[in-house]
Amino acid sequence: MLHGRCDLTLGAPNDTTAGRVIIELKTGRGNAAHRDDLRFYALLETLVTGVPPLMIASFYVDAGVIQTEMVSEETLEVAVRRTIAGVQRLGQLRQGAVPRKVPGHPCKWCPISDSCEPGKLWLEEESY
């Protein structure tokens, strides 16, 4: 099951004409995962309504900056490829593949960060 919930949507499609804008409110700095998440939301919107959104946007509250992307066929293709790769990886993990520990910003919120050596090292380096 694919599931996602965005922070805000504005507008609505008109029959088969895109008209909805999907907005995510973010704190801190931008990163590529934010754009990937928005593209996934655009894919979900397309699958549910049959009409892609017009635009996706991240609004960085602390900086007062908005980053936008018009939704195109290429946007949705990127989201489909990423979604398929994620589903395939989940299947591999269910069949016994060993999870990879890839340190990065999510380590700040990870429940195993106290016992994860790559995560601990990354957090120590990031604190400088």
The pTM score is 0.84
- In this structure, is the dihedral angle defined by the CA atoms of residues 85, 87, 92 and 98, taken in order, positive or negative? positive
User: Could you give the C-alpha distances from 61 to 11, 26, 44, 64, 110, in angstroms and in order?
Assistant: 21, 6, 25, 5, 23
What DSSP element (H or E) covers 80?
helix 73-94
In a structure prediction context, what are the per-residue pLDDT tens digits for the chain, which is 128 residues long? 899 999 999 999 888 889 999 999 998 888 888 999 999 999 999 999 999 999 999 999 999 999 999 999 999 999 999 999 999 999 999 999 998 888 988 888 899 988 999 999 999 887 76
Count CB atoms within 10 A of the CB of residue 12: 11
What DSSP element (H or E) covers 103?
none
With contact defined as beta carbons under 8 Å apart, do 20 and 54 qualify? yes
